[in-house]
Amino acid sequence: MKLHCSLVSQLKCITATGVLALLAACGGNDSASTAAPANKLLASMMVAAAPPAPASIRMHFHRAAGDASQWGVYSWDGPVNPSAGWITGRFMMTQGDDFGGYVDIPVNTAKSAIWFLVTDGSGNKNCGSDQSANFTPDIASKGQEVWMLEGDCTVYSAPPTISYGNLNNASAHWLSAATLAWPGAPAGGSYKLYYAANGGLGSDAGGVTGADGSIALATG
């Protein structure tokens, strides 16, 4: 996709002075992007959840979009009551904490593991292959927790570090002083060019960090 800037003079200034730049997708509109920090603040203020009940497994799931509640665990082996059908019998991630969504599933402690898939309502899978989590020796008395990340097939036994993007994966390139090409960028989003005279661009839960400013880009 090609991205254009209405402020051509600013782009020329940036390229002439060798300023480091980063393209960032901003979602569908500015109101959505400005609302995100408030959501993050609310999440950080949540009271810590009580431990999982004995003979149950708490399955946490983090999604960057914050929509883990629309995803669920489809499990055919391990729960006391396995999922009855694909995909209507999912255990939904309707509870949440500062990591993301989670669900508590009563398990059959005579089993050694739970086998499952994490899917949305359309059957899209977070991991393409079947997943499993071995039960801990004390799950019958203390319960158990596992954590999962969007686009990651690893089932973690402790909360993993949440990544907010990787600048090393940037793939946009200049076509002219006023046009950038970004292969594979979604056509429906809005975009900005972030710049920093001394480098140091980064990203966190709030978005791009270390920027001196940004320039709005138009798609075409």
The arithmetic mean of pLDDT across residues 128-132, rounded, is 96
pLDDT in tens, 3-24: 555 444 344 334 333 334 444 4
**Residue 22: its pLDDT value, please?**
47
- The whole-angstrom separation of Cα 19 and Cα 107 is 56
Q: Assign 187 a pLDDT band (cuts: 50, 70, 90).
A: low
Q: Assign 32 a pLDDT band (cuts: 50, 70, 90).
A: very low
Domain 56-149 in CATH 2.60.40.1110? The answer is yes
pTM above 0.75, yes or no: no
The arithmetic mean of pLDDT across residues 66-87, rounded, is 96
Per DSSP, the residues of 35-74 read HHHHHHHHHHTPPPPPPPPTTEEEEEEE-TTS-GGG-EEE
**Residue 19: its pLDDT value, please?**
34
Instruction: Tell me how far CA of residue 216 lies from CA of 34, 104, 138, 176, 192, in angstroms.
Output: 15, 43, 54, 16, 4
In the chain, % of residues over pLDDT 70: 70
